Structure 1
């Protein structure tokens, strides 16, 4: 069941956090103008050819990935609940010269009102399912806006990762939409990860950020994510699992690998830290 009151709390928390996150990223418009990209190989490999494709980027945050996709020829629309993020994305589009349409909305409201069969690709990545209070209408909405033959692509942190806290202590339940209230709100994970999440060059920016607004997450398992799409008639093309995290250095003692990837600490058995999903609408 949708929990719109908790979504509204998350909007406020993300507004505050987004300002801190972007304070570390310097002149992002110049970075994009000069051919820079914030995308990782995993999402590009799953997305495939983008030139001329209509692409809907849900929970697009401040638009850096959306505009990196536009630079590869996609016709992009980004949607996010955060006013701060969408305002920044619009400015970034203008400053970089990369075209994109950005709309501020709760993803559920946007999907419910969008015209059907409009997009070749719907895309989400990195820390999106945690903020969704009900996956059934999410999957239904995505299925509805895809053109026949269109695909939904997701690159996401693995639900196994969210069983643990930052010290790798088993803390949280697996899946089922379990509600996780967080009194500290959305944190400054960009400062925590440093250069891993800032290919444009990390800057110190806001120090010791403390979010004044609490936030609310939801624990979903792999089956919770995939099955609603299958029930809506989409076909599973690929499911990949990766034993590293792109850009995110959120567990104490993580080891950096080439390509801004992070591995679990030395001596810890390998666990999947991300997964990639591609499903296709028949047609």
Structure 2
């Protein structure tokens, strides 16, 4: 497990999170009025969350976490970024939506939670989560350790087949890096600003312009088979596996076609690719 890499990424995310939230109009008012930042895919895979104990791993600034609380879940959000967790706590207070947020490296948090006997009916991660995981086996074991018997882990993420290509749809990276880190000197970018409103359902404002992250970031390229096998090896049972030929809120290629304000397909003339995938894994009773 590369805790040095985790610390590098914490600094990069601290810087980027401020830029991201600068583009979003009054999020507390949006959530108070019943707004949600969730997409249909994760809502479908999660199912009825009302009354469920739900932990949102790598929750970022808490918008999805609080949207799940709005559906009746008892939520705990966990993220490594100090800035993200501070913002999430403020958003919970301002919106009046109950949610607990804890700042921690996800590995350390899951180990501590398991030792303390904390168990959850649902664990959830989404959209750019797996690429930050440095030790896939330890991650999967940690998830298995915090699920109650019969509990489910739900993942919706961008497909590694899509992240093999650069913005001109030219092959640039391997399907799997085999656990080797991939360094981005420019760090976590301002993808919210670049999304032109697709990631700001509360309303888009210009906010920070020409953002330059002073901290590099380090990611990993994991194949879908590696993610699924890690969960199986940790004792979980794969209940559902989905792939989608579109991306929610993400435009990795130049000229992508918008199906809606928040959903995009490959550019004209480029064959469909799996751009997202979903997994539901269950801890046996």
TM over 0.5: yes
Partner of 2:256: 254
Partner of 1:64: 63
The whole-number CA distance in structure 2 between the counterparts of 1:9 and 1:231 is 29
1:196–1:249 CA contact under 8 A, matched in 2: no
1:135–1:225 CA contact under 8 A, matched in 2: yes
Q: Tell me which moved more, 237-246 or 247-256.
A: 247-256
**191, 194, 201: which one pairs with 1:192?**
194
The whole-number CA distance in structure 1 between the counterparts of 2:131 and 2:247 is 16
Cα distance, 1:195 vs structure 2: 1.3
The whole-number CA distance in structure 2 between the counterparts of 1:178 and 1:221 is 13
2:70–2:97 CA contact under 8 A, matched in 1: yes
Aligned length: 282
Partner of 1:168: 169
Give the match's secondary structure for 1:103.
strand
**219, 222, 226: which one pairs with 2:221?**
219
1:117–1:144 CA contact under 8 A, matched in 2: no
- Provide structure 1 residue ranges, at least 5 long, that are not aligned to the other structure: none
Cα distance, 1:66 vs structure 2: 0.1
Cα distance, 1:259 vs structure 2: 5.7
1:192–1:250 CA contact under 8 A, matched in 2: no
The whole-number CA distance in structure 2 between the counterparts of 1:193 and 1:219 is 22
The whole-number CA distance in structure 2 between the counterparts of 1:248 and 1:270 is 15
Cα distance, 1:173 vs structure 2: 1.2
The whole-number CA distance in structure 1 between the counterparts of 2:117 and 2:236 is 15
The whole-number CA distance in structure 1 between the counterparts of 2:144 and 2:110 is 10
Show the 5 A alignment for 1:260-271: 260-271=262-273
Cα distance, 1:165 vs structure 2: 1.5
Q: Tell me which moved more, 130-139 or 248-257.
A: 248-257
The whole-number CA distance in structure 1 between the counterparts of 2:214 and 2:123 is 32
Q: Where does structure 1 differ by over 2 angstroms across 4 or more consecutive aligned residues?
A: none
Cα distance, 1:76 vs structure 2: 0.2
**260, 273, 282: which one pairs with 1:280?**
282
Q: What are the Cα deviations for residues 142-176 of structure 1, in whole angstroms up to 9, with x where unaligned?
A: 00100000000000000101111222121111212
The whole-number CA distance in structure 1 between the counterparts of 2:59 and 2:170 is 30
**In structure 2, do the counterparts of structure 1 residues 20 and 194 end up closer, same or farther at CA, with 3 Å as the change threshold?**
same
Partner of 1:51: 50
Cα distance, 1:247 vs structure 2: 1.0
2:248–2:264 CA contact under 8 A, matched in 1: yes
Give the match's secondary structure for 1:178.
coil
Partner of 1:113: 112
Partner of 2:181: 179
Q: TM-score, normalised by structure 1?
A: 0.98
The whole-number CA distance in structure 2 between the counterparts of 1:138 and 1:9 is 18
Q: What are the Cα deviations for residues 242-270 of structure 1, in whole angstroms up to 9, with x where unaligned?
A: 00000112321111112610111000010
Q: TM-score, normalised by structure 2?
A: 0.97
Show the 5 A alignment for 1:136-147: 136-147=137-148
**In structure 2, do the counterparts of structure 1 residues 110 and 117 end up closer, same or farther at CA, with 3 Å as the change threshold?**
closer
